[in-house]
Amino acid sequence: MALIFLVVKVLIVVFFLIMFLRKNKLVWGIGLLTVTSAILLDTLMATFGREEMLELFGFFFYVIAGALFAGAAIWFYALTRPYLRSSDPLSPVKKTTDALQSSVKVQHDGQEETAGTAFDRQMLYDQMRYNLGPDDLLDIIFDLGWPENDVITINQDNNQLTVRIIDLAEERGQTGSLTLAVERILTPIPADNLPRLEKLNAESPRPVLRYYILANYSADELKQMATNLGIDWEIIGGDNKKTKVRNYLLYLYRRNRIQELINLMQTGDFTEEE
């Protein structure tokens, strides 16, 4: 029985460690610190006995226990906060999207403005702050077609970047586009719902092209296409395929060469190096 409890404790710690490494969020760091401290305290109590621990630590034993309880409460609240704002069974992002779609939209000087007060800034902020990582925020900036220099500043953390993105969307009348971009990140477009390759061109929406490439080409194929276009793949930054694709497309957009990539994709006239 003792062995089973030990395995369960190890699995709990491993779970929190994996979640912390994958999401890189403070909430999972707090959870990891809380469970490891609780397991350590439990081990000490099992080894030396509760009375001995109380005698050794005295008042501080209750301080440690209170800190563990507070850590668990903070972790649970941070995870459930986005879902406690309403009892509506719809997800927060979907509710925001539905509200935006039902609001009145008018065109003014080529920009979309959302009339009324349907836009829920706090709800959108919570979704971005607690569910999106740094790369996801960069994907949103790309999908909206904004120059990164308009949004990103030196020593800017994720929280500040999130606020800046929402502020800029409001200033430019693009809150609906931002909400849709967030929803696409949380629920990517299925490959079967993407346009056919022959329908793509330089005017295709940025997220459509980005998702199409992610779904249909390997990293090696992208590298070979870059070589065919005379681009050194090594200068395209990123340590994973998702980041590489975004930076690759940014490189081409900035040089007005995106149609060259689409032509190459449509002809299939690229082969891997021998």
Distance between first and last Cα of the chain: 58
Q: Which of 34-43, 44-53, 88-97 has the lowest mean pLDDT?
A: 88-97
pLDDT value at residue 141: 96
pLDDT value at residue 272: 57
| CA distance linking residue 269 with residue 121, whole number of Å | 46
Q: Is the separation of the CB atoms in 177 and 112 below 8 Å?
A: yes
> So where are the chain's domains?
2-83, 92-106+113-186, 192-267
Structure letter (DSSP) for residue 199: G
38 or 88: which leads in pLDDT: 38
Residues in the chain, overall count: 274
Helix (H, G, I), strand (E, B) or coil at 74: helix
Annotate 190-221 with b (16+ C-beta within 10 A) or e (fewer). Answer: eeeebeeeeebeeeeebbbbbbbbbeebeeee
29: pLDDT strictly greater than 50: yes
pTM over 0.85: no
pLDDT value at residue 83: 55
- Kindly report, residue by residue over 147-186, the tens digit of the pLDDT: 999 999 988 899 999 999 999 999 999 999 999 999 999 9
- Kindly report, residue by residue over 178-216, the tens digit of the pLDDT: 999 999 999 988 888 899 999 999 999 999 999 999 999
224-227: long-range contacts, CB 8 A cutoff, minimum separation 24: 224/270, 224/271, 224/272, 224/273, 225/261, 225/264, 225/265, 225/270, 227/273
- Kindly report, residue by residue over 73-131, the tens digit of the pLDDT: 887 777 776 555 444 443 443 443 344 344 333 333 334 444 333 468 889 999 999 99
| CA distance linking residue 126 with residue 85, whole number of Å | 10
Q: Of 99, 117, 115, nearest to 107 (Cα)?
A: 115
Q: Which of 24-38, 73-87, 259-273 has the lowest mean pLDDT?
A: 73-87
